[in-house]
Amino acid sequence: MENIEDLQEQKEEANNELSQIKNEIKTEKLKSSAVDVATSAIEEIGSMLGSSKVKRQQQEIEELKSENAGLQTVIKTLKQQIQINETEYMASTQKHQQEMDKIFTLFPKVKELLGIEKLCRHLGFEEDLIKRIFEMKPLGFKGKLYSSEYHRDFETDYSVAEIKPYLSDPDKLKLTIDGLDNVSWFRQKQKEFLERIGIKIQPKQPKMKQSI
């Protein structure tokens, strides 16, 4: 049988072991608690950061919506202004055309002269020569004139430009160069050019009508 001293020693050892175990349990609980606190703190910080990011994104979205609404308002205003301008332009153009039609009716030669003025500029006449041509007198000139048919300039040392009425209708006018209309004058110049370089143009023979 064990004596009392042995039992007391075993009791003390058991108490010491129990105390050690309690301390270890307490330490583990503290560690666990610290981990829980740290985890909770991290989650809270993450939540705060996430909430701040969401709020910032929402603010940016609201700003973009506001800017977009402002742009839509500006676009709508501009479209309305464009529509007003187009309406005013059409009304002004129509009124102008009506006035020009009235002038052309009262003064038929004005329309003819405007067409001749445009032709003169296309052929290459300078401003001062156009004004002198419009004095309705023969005008001698020299220089180059442009042909749309041949896509080139033809030079003349001396020619006479004049505005003349058509024999069939005195209200209709034409520009003549050396007594020819501009198309015939350029064709004559082209023929002369080809002959100078040794190419002779045969005149076209009229087609004979077949008898039935």
Torsions phi, psi for 134 (to 5 deg): -75, 0
On whether the CB atoms of residues 117 and 134 are closer than 8 A, the answer is yes
The 3-state DSSP class for residue 163 equals strand
CA angle (208 as vertex; 202, 212 as ends), nearest 5: 165
Residue 142 has pLDDT above 90, yes or no: yes
CA angle (115 as vertex; 124, 186 as ends), nearest 5: 45
Bridge partners of 163, per DSSP, are 175
Give the pLDDT confidence of 147-165 residue by residue, as tens digits.
Answer: 999 999 999 999 999 999 9
Give the pLDDT confidence of 95-122 residue by residue, as tens digits.
Answer: 888 887 887 787 778 889 999 999 999 9
Residue 139 belongs to what H/E stretch? strand 139-147
Which residues contact residue 164 at a Cβ distance below 8 angstroms, ignoring those fewer than 6 apart? 173, 174, 176
On whether the CB atoms of residues 200 and 206 are closer than 8 A, the answer is no
Buried/exposed code over 114-126 (b: 16+ C-beta within 10 A; e: otherwise)? eebbeebeebebe
Residue 39 belongs to what H/E stretch? helix 4-106
Q: What is the pLDDT of residue 2?
A: 47
> Average of pLDDT values for 136-144?
94
Domains of the chain by residue range? 8-106, 108-196
If you average pLDDT over every residue of the chain, what do you get?
Answer: 79
CA angle (37 as vertex; 32, 40 as ends), nearest 5: 125
The 3-state DSSP class for residue 45 equals helix
> Average of pLDDT values for 62-84?
81
Give the pLDDT confidence of 178-201 residue by residue, as tens digits.
Answer: 999 999 999 999 999 898 888 876
On whether the CB atoms of residues 163 and 131 are closer than 8 A, the answer is no
Q: Does this model's pTM top 0.75? A: no
